[in-house]
Amino acid sequence: MPWIYFLIMVELVVVSWIDIKTKKISNLWFFFNIILSLSLHFLYPVEYSWQWATLIYPVGWIFAGFGLFVLGIMGAGDSKLLSSLFLVIPLTFQFKILENILYSTLVVGIVFLTIKIAKDFNKIKAYALSSHWQGLKESIRSSFSFAPVVLLAWILFGVEKWL
C-alpha cells in the first residue's frame, strides 16, 4: 500500500514544519491518526486487524514518552504523535519503524551534541575542569524538534522498502 506511505509522509512533512516553527505538536494530529487508523481498519481489515499486538508500540510509546516528557527529553505532543502514528502503520512494519526512529534519534542527537560541543567548547571545557556538573549538563543539553527525526526514520523506511 504505497499510498499510505505517501499519506504518512505528507503528514510528517507538515507536522515537522509546524514543529520546527512553533516547537509544538497539536493534539489534532493525534485525533487525525486515530480516525485514520479506524478508517483503515474498516477499509483494509487484513493489514489493520484488531489484535493485542497492534497496541504494543502505541501503548509502549505512551509510557516511554511520558517518562521522556518527565525527564524533559521529549515533548508531550511528540509522544502522542508517535503513539497514534504506530496505529496507522501496519503491524508488520512497526518494529522496522521503531528501529529507524532509534537510529535516527541517535544520529541526530550525536550530530547536535557535536555541534554544541564545538560551538561552546571553551565553556564546556571550563565547566568540566572545574567539576561544575550542573553547568556542564546545561551547556551540553540540546533541544531539537523530534517530528523531523520521525520524518527521517520514515524516509529511511521508504528507501529500504522500495529502492
What are 87-139's pLDDT values in tens digits? 999 989 999 999 999 999 899 888 888 888 888 888 888 888 888 888 777 77
Confidence of residue 143 (pLDDT cuts 50, 70, 90): low
Sequence-separated (6 or more) residues with CB below 8 Å from residue 83: 30, 58, 59, 61, 62, 65
Position 128: which residue type? A
pLDDT of 142 above 70: no
Say if CB 92 and CB 117 are below 8 A apart. no
Greatest distance between any 2 Cα atoms in the chain: 62
Q: Which SS3 state, helix, strand or coil, does residue 48 take?
A: coil
pLDDT of 25 above 80: yes
Q: Angle of helix 121-129 relative to helix 133-140, nearest 10 degrees?
A: 160
Its pTM stands at: 0.83
Which among 116, 93, 97 has a CA at the least distance from the CA of 105?
A: 97
